[in-house]
Structure 1
């Protein structure tokens, strides 16, 4: 009898200890249907996130066991791999078209040398610049490097099915329309336009000048009042579907073991390192990782060797987190990139321009192109500096269409007087406020932070070339295909901006 009582007491003590251990390991949220559960959820939101440090940070056995066993006590089945890796070779901050193109070239052309992680907070790309763009590609720029980058994209798209096909999936389709771009010029801009066309042709672009007579013959639906000439891209220009290109690149990247992670970068981590400078050996900060907030409520540290800023309109925000412009010698200037909101309008005009209509750019800055085969067109324009819209949301200003866009369209194409506005959307440019050109390459102070920002509306057509260029910088330590060194951050330090005049 005494033996049975003693056994029962031991079992009772064991159950008590087990229950206490379970309560310690389990942080299961109470049923949200009860009022107490609601309050508990609100309290949990206000609590500081649990932090999982980056690789290389010592952790006790207790901390590791707590982290590993919590999901089991919640009744959850989790994968072995954490949602954010503790260490990787390359972190790409932003998984839009530019970031995905960088990941593609890093993994496709380096035979698996790099472990690449892409961190994207907008996993559905609802605010991604490339997804909300007009999808145009042109070779008609005023700087040779911009011409060369767009030409690289055109060449890639000629064989994109070969590059991006994935075994077991349907071949990709980016719907490239080769109608070209047409820039119209008033009399006082003809000489400048001719010089630009001459430069573009020396770069290999198939651009031609058209006189007023030739324009009238080729496009009888145009009103050429105030127009003296135009330049037309006859090969490799037009528009395509950036959504399809992004997802084709992403599918290919996943087969190449690129890791896509949903989360928001909240800060960078640094270590003091000895560095050789012009003033001798000095202690300087080095970026060694990022902290990422995940939707599961935890904050993860991720260490890496290279950090590539592909955050588009929010690149300036990422640069500030990395203490770019903090004031140290060689680090006085911030990244001059900010979001600018732009509107795209869809109109319907059954008697509008014909199927061979190019992507037309009017001297007023208004543009339009066809959208499908049902008499629809998309159009828009960039506002003046004084009238830049508020960027707090993606609401559309319809008065901008009625007051500025539509009058120019109806004047240039009389058939648009019978058009109807059907829909509209807004998107962001990653706008370089100094010279509206790409910022690429390593920062002069933080050498392992690489920029791919500031395309000012040209990211869709330059993303592939940027991806190739960054791969070359990382792999070869120099450019091999297109020399983009004039677009490095140093030009701001040296006060030598490189202005692009063909901004749409």
Structure 2
């Protein structure tokens, strides 16, 4: 849970440096992953000056640490499958990547129970299509009939279930707080600067450009990022070459500071970044006679999810009163805790937005993952670092997630959104 054993006082939040090559707005797991991979690719400790700016020193409202910590490859889009496959392998070998000399090894408390998706008669054909895509890309999943499901999980109520899909490898859940701290600790050890403050604006150099349609565009290149210190009216301008908008649920607000979405409705500048905070509630329910170690991360065909939390008969769910696929009476479930967090919800197509904006040629976006940012963060961090330092993707081709699709009104839809 946020606020557990890590004190932000140890991070010497002070003023940011006056200059940085790359300023990352957002110190969540995506932001720190980008910082880590930038330094890994640069190889020289002081060869690339990277600054991460985070406005919440306690992380008490951070989407990263308020999530359920799941990772899966059961998606319909190959890009999402590849992102999560890469991240799963990264987490399996976490100490090969994120160990720090004279520090304790990283323990993500990874539970490998896998995801179990349930489909009705109406949605079974979609599950079969997704299964073929997942297997083609390399995910280890299996389809189960209702009888096979009941045999494997005797506690399951299979009424209304026509088909199920079970993740066999590289799926489960882990501690988000541990991943965030591990990335942060490693990046700082490599020379990444960090600052607790709020980005309040940008100073830009502007140029006019004309499109083939005759539209005149105001193209801005960021020169300075203004960072306001906590509990103060003062701000520190940071000169920079590149900015990364990894502000999660607040990334739309950051984009609007540059005029994105504020122009004429039918123009390029009139298209906003379609990312907004979307509140999601998480409940911890107690059921002493509930299923044990073999309990997967269960998602039924209505989108309701549930997973085991520890070994004390506790379960995490989004809608606690609809756990109908547990063959138990509802009154046995008692709510013992609850919290709420925010998705960086992409209202356009619920998929991540990665890449440059044509009106701000030195601002990269890594946002809008709609609940998948945590599990995909190791791969997203590498992808953004490749864009910045190599000029293109080298490991996973994420061109389909480019911001251009939003400007062209061409959504790419993911059918397995939870």
Matching residue within 300, 306, 311 for 2:242: 306
SS in 2 for 1:89: strand
Deviating more after overlay: 155-164 vs 280-289: 280-289
CA distance in 2, matches of 1:467, 1:285: 25
Report the equivalent of 1:349. Answer: 287
CA deviation vs aligned residue, 1:321-367 (integer Å, no higher than 9, x gap): 12212327532211000001011000111110121110000112111
Secondary structure of the residue aligned to 1:331 is helix
TM-score w.r.t. the length of structure 1 is 0.77
Give the secondary-structure state (helix, strand or coil) at the position aligned to 2:38: helix
Tell me, what secondary structure is at the counterpart of 1:452?
strand
Partner of 2:360, secondary structure, is coil
Q: Secondary structure at the match of 1:130?
A: coil
Structure 1 413/321 Cα, relative in aligned 2: closer, same or farther at 3 Å?
farther
Q: In the alignment, which residue of structure 2 is the partner of 1:171?
A: 105
- C-alpha separation in 2, matches of 1:130 and 1:293: 23
CA distance in 2, matches of 1:148, 1:210: 23
Going from structure 1 to structure 2, the CA distance change for 1:196 and 1:331 (only over 3 Å counts) comes to same
C-alpha distance 89-277 of structure 1, shift in aligned 2 (>3 A): farther
CA distance in 2, matches of 1:359, 1:468: 27
Any stretches of 5+ residues in structure 2 without a counterpart? 1-12
The answer as to 2:417 corresponding to 1:482 is no
Confirm whether residue 153 of structure 1 aligns to residue 87 of structure 2: yes
Higher relative contact order (CA 8 A, sep 6+): 2
- The answer for the alignment partner of 2:221 in structure 1 is 286
When structure 1 is superposed on structure 2, of 268-277 and 342-351 the one drifting more is 268-277
C-alpha change, 1:324 and 1:215, in structure 2 (3 Å) is same
More helix by share: 1
Q: Distance in 1 between matches of 2:392 and 2:329?
A: 51
Corresponding position: 1:438 with 2:352: yes
Q: Name which of 254, 264, 267 aligns with 1:318.
A: 254
Larger radius of gyration: 1
Q: Provide the secondary structure at the position in 1 that maps to 2:361.
A: coil
Report what 1:380 is aligned to. Answer: 318
Task: Decide whether the 8 Å contact of 2:16 with 2:193 is kept in 1.
Answer: no
After TM superposition, give the deviation of residue 285 of structure 1 in Å.
2.7
Structure 1 CA distance for aligned equivalents of residues 109 and 37 of structure 2: 22
Separation of aligned partners in 2, 1:429 and 1:186: 27
Aligned residues of 1:206 and 1:233 also touching (Cα < 8 A): yes
Residue 185 of structure 1, aligned match among 110, 119, 122: 119
Residue 327 (structure 1) aligned with residue 263 (structure 2)? yes
Following the alignment from structure 1 to structure 2, what is the Cα–Cα distance between the partners of residues 332 and 292? Answer: 26
Query: Over aligned residues, Cα RMSD in angstroms?
Result: 2.0
Shift of 1:415: 5.3
Matched, 1:111 2:49: no
Any idea what SS the aligned residue of 2:191 has?
A: coil
Q: Flag the 1:347–1:235 CA change in 2: closer, same or farther, 3 A.
A: same
The 1:226/1:90 distance shift into structure 2, 3 A limit, reads same
Instruction: Determine the structure 2 residue equivalent to 1:120.
Output: 54
Contact 1:142–1:502, Cα closer than 8 Å, also in 2? yes
Matched, 1:464 2:378: yes
Q: How many residue pairs are counted as aligned between the two chains? A: 401
Query: Contact 1:178–1:239 at 8 Å: present in 2 too?
Result: yes
Per the TM alignment, residue 414 of structure 1 is displaced from its structure 2 partner at its CA by: 1.5
Greater share of residues in strand:
2
- How far apart, in 2, do the equivalents of 1:323 and 1:280 lie? 16
Instruction: Check 1:280–1:138 CA distance in 2 against 1; reply closer, same or farther (3 A cut).
Output: closer
Displacement after TM superposition at 1:188 (Å): 1.7
1:412 Cα deviation (Å)? Answer: 3.9
Matched, 1:87 2:19: yes
Write out per-residue CA displacement over residues 403-435 of structure 1, whole angstroms, 9 at most, x where no aligned residue.
xx31x2145432554121101000000000111
Q: Distance in 2 between matches of 1:122 and 1:428?
A: 14
